[in-house]
Amino acid sequence: MPTQINTDSLKKAEVSTALAKSMITQAIEQSAANPQLAEEALKQASQEIAQAQTMVSQVQSTIQTQQAQEQQQKSK
């Protein structure tokens, strides 16, 4: 059985990274005019990146588990 990837989680990670990119761009644009707004945008971007990392890690873990199970079944 081929390894199945949870594309929903990866799509959510993609959205999170797109949001983070937007927030970082906003922070750059606002950095001179409004440092507080820039700082808040960077905090939010950081949270989005952390969320994306978690989702990608979950997918990787699932793949590794599936591969280990496949190897066990082949060795039986």
Q: Give CA–CA dist 53/48, Å, rounded.
A: 9
- Mean pLDDT, the chain, whole residue set: 90
Q: How many CB atoms lie within 10 A of CB 74?
A: 7
Reported pTM: 0.80
Torsion of CA 20, 11, 50, 21, to 10 degrees: -10
State what percent of residues in the chain have pLDDT above 70: 96
How high is the pLDDT of residue 15?
A: 95
In this prediction, residues 39-61 reach a mean pLDDT of: 94
Amino acid at 68: A
How high is the pLDDT of residue 50?
A: 96
- Rg of the Cα trace of the chain? 18
